Structure 1
Amino acid sequence: MANKRILIISDYERIVPAFMQTLIRYGVEMFDHIYYITPPIPEQYSKTISYDNLTIRTWSNAERLRQYFRGILSPLRFSFWKELSKGRLSFGAIKNIGQLYFCSDGFLGLIDRYINNALNNNNEVFVLATWMQVDAFVAARLKKKYPNIKSYALAHSGEVMADRNPYLHQCFHEFKHQYLDTTYFISQKVLDGYYQAMDDCNIKSRYNSRIKVRYLGSIKNNNMINPDSTGDYFELLSCSRIDANKRLDTIISALKKWNGIPIRWTHIGTGVLENEVKALADELMKINPKVKVQFTGRIDNSDVIRYYAEKHVDLFLNVSKSEGLPISIMEAMSYGIPCAATDVGGTSEIVNQTNGYILNSDFTDSDLIDVLNNYISLPSHEKKEMRVAAMNTWYTKFNAETNAKELFNEWFN
């Protein structure tokens, strides 16, 4: 019997994403020690995963230089050119494959010592890749080298969706599936799209038994629900980066034509298009005095959750052009806030006609206005039913504590 359970996490994003903070939060209760391997990350992120039985390991400049050198030599490997041949020859593809080797070699140099030490002490080793990109390449290479470990990866959206990853066939996905014990897709629709895009490689028929859908979910630390309305405004809320994909300009376009009860739209978040969107919002408020817009800027996730618990929200909006499975929607619904969202990625696995509204991905101004009018016109008891349904959706499908513990227990059985 193994003495201890050791979890090694690879994450190349240079932050600690919210879903990984959640998994670690419950992982420290179920593993004897966790090693989080990542490039240097800002202190604000390292504080989110500060536990006695967790070690954050980043590489030094000397280790980075050695990693860079090995990356330059990656074209000398036969597997480099074999992978390149699976798609169109281009500078971008060559760069992508080189980066996969460059980055994964750095991870391997840091992780090897932990695995060797754990196995020498008869400990059980688990490796988890945060993303289905270089992180998963690391996990698969480790599994090939150490067959006795268990190795897993999470697949989200951008790294496995053909419309967002032009090098989908040149990312060593076949190699990853060959060695990973299980790859967990965070959405059924994302997985279906991946199977379709990789149909020429027969990924589904060859590796279906090693690929699953598992929702990650969001955390809720209390039993509170979003409070009842006390003001004169119909309260809309959105929470996201401010960039082209989030399409906040489409909300502004629709609200220019709004002619109903006074609306206050609050947006939480910042991004590259913040100044442009704020300028459009200022123009909106000059054109339509029935609409008020306010931007909070970037606030900590704990403050976002506090907002849901303390300030009334009638409807949460997500009008993204593409998504994986939006945690922002899960968080809002956990407080009983209905959502109107575009039918992209796995969003329809969260939002439905009982807990909100699904918009076509190419919705018009009139479509969004119709949704607002429909919700406003609902009798109070139907609004309450929709809010209860939103909370129940989170509780039954997207409760992060339940989902994380089920995931880890699956590995132990």
Structure 2
Amino acid sequence: MTDQVLVINCGSSSLKFAVLDGTENPPILEGIADRLGSEHSSITFKHNGTKQEQRLYDNDHRAAVAAIKKWINEHPEADISLAGVGHRVVHGGETFSQSVTINDEVLKGIEDCSVFAPLHNPAHVKGIKETQALFGDLPQVAVFDTAFHQTLSADQYLYPIPMRLYREHHFRKYGFHGTSYRYISQKLSELDPAYGAENALIAHLGNGASVCATCNGQSVDTSMGITPLEGLMMGTRSGSLDPSLLSFIADAEGITMEDALNVLNKESGLKGISEISNDCRTLETAQAQGDDRAQLALDMFSSRAAKHLASVSTNLSSLEHLVFTGGIGENSPLIREAICQRLQTLGIKIDRNTNQTAPRGEISCISLADAPVKVWIIPTNEELLIAQDTLHLINQDTATTHSA
């Protein structure tokens, strides 16, 4: 059986994809279909060091999936033979605590969770259905961002609101970035044989940002909630704040509560404070040139990240590891140092020179040799974990069929 998997991350107006072989090897093929639903939609393919962009005249998700299949069929030299398709799904609610092979029941479960992720889950369903239609009987697997956090205890995942709202509507903390956290936990177990009996804080910092506390490789607390808006300040999201502010914004601006929520999701965070950009790299450049707004935005981002790391650490009996991952966590020495300076009370001390010179894209330990907590930079690879889950379930299903 071939070990190649097409990994799909379907958004409302985009579709990211990659073909992986389940190992640390670079993707055989990767790309993105952008601006789906508009007349300017296109798809980009990257293979063997070359990049090719095509217009999508039928500018929907089906056209994107069809273009991927067409590319594979027209490039036999790429030697792509798919064993299955793995789909990233943002929200699995309480229904899914692990990755699953997709059938009609699973598809309905993903649709039912759309109430919590109205922008993401319907797009995932659309991508799954189009892939099923175009790739025939190829096995399909769903990997959920929320699944890793299903190990949270009730005192952590429940909100202090009337219990009937949880019983009747399942309003609770779910957490996200779970695929990334699971990948990092696996990497830590490879780096430290004692990790199974140790505790870690993981900071997934990017345009979307969250933190997680793990004990024995399992999630015990995380910063995101029923949606990805809770927790840290992010690229365009405010993160946690006084809920009454939503009403104040709506009244002051003469807008609906939904529009006010849009302000918190799309106009806040680094972008809202700096009034420059939601991109950390742009803000670091502006800060270096003396821009006070960029400085304030980066200070607020670092402060809130440190606060949430300290907060989730209260669920750990000890602390052995702190990990930085995600676009900002992996690539910004400035942010890493600013966060660690605020966490000295937890025994976190980094080597400033090692932090500054850590090679991009590689695992690095940046803590001082005598520090009680190891501080790591570990690049995440959610696509690889999705591919590995997909291959595992395909092989499991095949073994079950043969034994029957």
Measured against the shorter chain, the TM-score band is 0.3 to 0.5
Q: Which protein is richer in helix relative to its size?
A: 1
| Structure number, greater radius of gyration | 1
TM-score normalised by the chain length of structure 2: 0.35
